[in-house]
Amino acid sequence: MPAMLQKPKELKFLVIGAGSRGNAYSEPITETTSAQIYAVAEPLPYKRQLFGRKYIWGPDGSPQEGQEFVDWKAWLEWETDRRRRQAQGEPVPDGVDGVFVCTLDEMHVEIMVAIAPLNLHVLCEKPLATSLADCLSIYRARTPEQQSKIFSIGHVLRYSPHNITLRKLLLTDRVIGDVLSIEHTEPVAWWHFAHSYVRGNWRRQSRNGDGSLLTKCSHDVDFLLWMLSSPPTGAPIDTQPHLPRSISSMGARSMFRQSRKPLAAGNATNCLSCPMERDCHYSAVKIYHDHQLAKGDTHWPVHIVCPDIEDVLKTSGMEVAQTQLFDRLAEDYDRTTAADAEIAARSWYGRCVYESDNDVCDDQLVTISWDEDNTAVPPRPGKRAVLHMAAQTEKECERRGRVYGTHGELEYDSHQISYFSFVTRETTVVEVPQQTKSLHGGGDYGLARAFVAAVDAVENQGLPAHDAQVQFIGCTFDEAVRSQVVVFAAEEARRDEKVIQWQDWWKEKTASIVV
């Protein structure tokens, strides 16, 4: 008589942080996998309840024990006690198999270190942490026992159909031979940069002086290392990465500073009181009202300004929603009376972009170089990569670039890929299916599905975590951390106006930093 097949375990996940990133991962998990978003930890009641109704207990349901928490510490306390009760043989609610950490960047290190002893599968939104020391704290908190669990960072560019196709063309099909250099541009968009990096949460550098490169382009750095450092898909599982030789960077706050303020704006510090508001393309009224709310659009970024604007519009109408938005935009401060800590503690979405307290680069270049590696089979050529982050662009995050190879040249943007062969003197155009439902060209969906698949392979199929990491996540834990650390090296190079010798720098930092 055949043995009874064991029913696969239904995977359950906790989401810490019910904002845009928490939703970005929860939606594909709910819609495209058999896994379950089981619990949420979020301090804002409106966000927490909206998230719970959408993904966990339904529009007419209510949370069960272990499904709703006011913050991650409340969940950690509950989970620790649940495990204690379970060990004593008491009936307890289900726990979770994994955690999505989608909080503010500066909170990641405390959360990641605190939950490490629970030995759960973890996906942490990028950046992993806001300092090198914090990254190392997370790195060292991962015990040998945790090597049996999946770990991923929100480097979503690896998982879009476009970039998967691009990498296959370059590294597997080798349509332009050996890759010798890449020019990669991240065009942020003038209004997006004003929202997030002049008025919003990411407008100030961290305590180490690391700014917009970390918060906006850490996954672009990862993209370049994925293309030029990580072994090609299908390579033997023990293939070592091709590590960079040197890293340099230059950048500045070029646009959003008081010296560029138009004379016609006078002493105004807020868009609502500015005499030239109608003539300014950075006008908060234009960005949040004219181009969004007035058209009935309550999605990003206006819902960042007023988190419950969608509900207000539906239940109370346009006039009430407009009043709420304009009240929020009217909030301002006087530098002579307000303490800097008070100003820094929150966002000021109606503030003049030339009078803000931002200090991050709005234009930056990063150069990474590799030596030739003749120890590999086949040998790996020397190569270079240049990343350009630009704020003043028409396109919003529609990345573009050129790749130069020994046998041809390849060009890509967010819609198509084309390459020219030196041998045939012909151009081939590769159309990539457009992903309209997900940000980052489908990368959010791709990463969420890959993470769940990796966890399932470990929990239900018995695959070792290292193998599942490589097969589904596409990188090891060390590779994921290295991508984050290269950003810190680039920022040190920019601040000190020097060239970082990567391997010597990394050895020095890991030997000397106290965490």
192-222 pLDDT, tens per residue? 999 999 999 999 997 766 789 999 999 999 9
**Contact of 58 with 50, CB cutoff 8 Å:** no
What is the pLDDT at residue 414? 87
What is the pLDDT at residue 444? 93
DSSP assignments along 159-172, one per residue: GSHHHHHHHIIIII
pLDDT at 425 exceeding the cut of 60: yes
**Contact of 97 with 460, CB cutoff 8 Å:** no
Q: Looking at residues 38-53, what average pLDDT do you find?
A: 96
Q: Looking at residues 474-500, what average pLDDT do you find?
A: 93
Question: How many angstroms separate the CA atoms of 283 and 285, rounded?
Answer: 5
The predicted model scores a pTM of 0.92
pLDDT at 515 exceeding the cut of 80: no
pLDDT band at 513 (very low <50, low <70, confident <90, very high): very low
**Contact of 22 with 102, CB cutoff 8 Å:** yes
What is the pLDDT at residue 438? 57
pLDDT at 439 exceeding the cut of 80: no
What residue has token string 């002493």?
267
What is the pLDDT at residue 503? 94
pLDDT at 3 exceeding the cut of 50: no
What residue has token string 């950048």?
251
pLDDT at 128 exceeding the cut of 60: yes
What is the pLDDT at residue 254? 94
pLDDT at 2 exceeding the cut of 90: no
Lowest mean pLDDT among 54-63, 172-181, 369-378, 413-422: 369-378
Question: How many angstroms separate the CA atoms of 47 and 264, rounded?
Answer: 40
pLDDT band at 55 (very low <50, low <70, confident <90, very high): very high
What is the pLDDT at residue 512? 54
pLDDT at 413 exceeding the cut of 90: yes
Mean pLDDT estimate for the chain: 93
* Pairing of β 400-405 and β 179-187: antiparallel
**Contact of 97 with 459, CB cutoff 8 Å:** yes
Q: Looking at residues 407-423, what average pLDDT do you find?
A: 96
Domain parsing of the chain, residue ranges: 12-156, 159-188+219-253+363-442+476-512, 258-344
What is the pLDDT at residue 509? 85
Q: Looking at residues 481-500, what average pLDDT do you find?
A: 95
Q: Looking at residues 4-9, what average pLDDT do you find?
A: 71
pLDDT band at 432 (very low <50, low <70, confident <90, very high): confident
Q: Find residue 501's DSSP bridge partners.
A: 246
Q: Looking at residues 388-417, what average pLDDT do you find?
A: 96
**Contact of 204 with 345, CB cutoff 8 Å:** no
Q: Find residue 16's DSSP bridge partners.
A: 41, 101
Lowest mean pLDDT among 37-41, 242-246, 345-349, 374-378: 374-378
Lowest mean pLDDT among 259-268, 279-288, 432-441: 432-441
pLDDT band at 143 (very low <50, low <70, confident <90, very high): confident
Top CATH class of 12-156 equals alpha beta
pLDDT band at 437 (very low <50, low <70, confident <90, very high): low
What is the pLDDT at residue 435? 62
CATH superfamily label, 159-188+219-253+363-442+476-512: Dihydrodipicolinate Reductase; domain 2 (3.30.360.10)
Q: Find residue 152's DSSP bridge partners.
A: 123
Lowest mean pLDDT among 20-34, 167-181, 471-485, 486-500: 471-485
Q: What share of the chain is helix, strand, coil (3-state, %, to 5)?
A: 45, 15, 40
Question: How many angstroms separate the CA atoms of 122 and 138, rounded?
Answer: 12
18-23: Cβ within 8 A, 24+ apart? 18/42, 18/44, 18/47, 18/48, 18/50, 18/51, 18/102, 19/47, 19/102, 20/300, 20/304, 21/102, 21/125, 21/154, 22/51, 22/100, 22/102, 23/51, 23/54
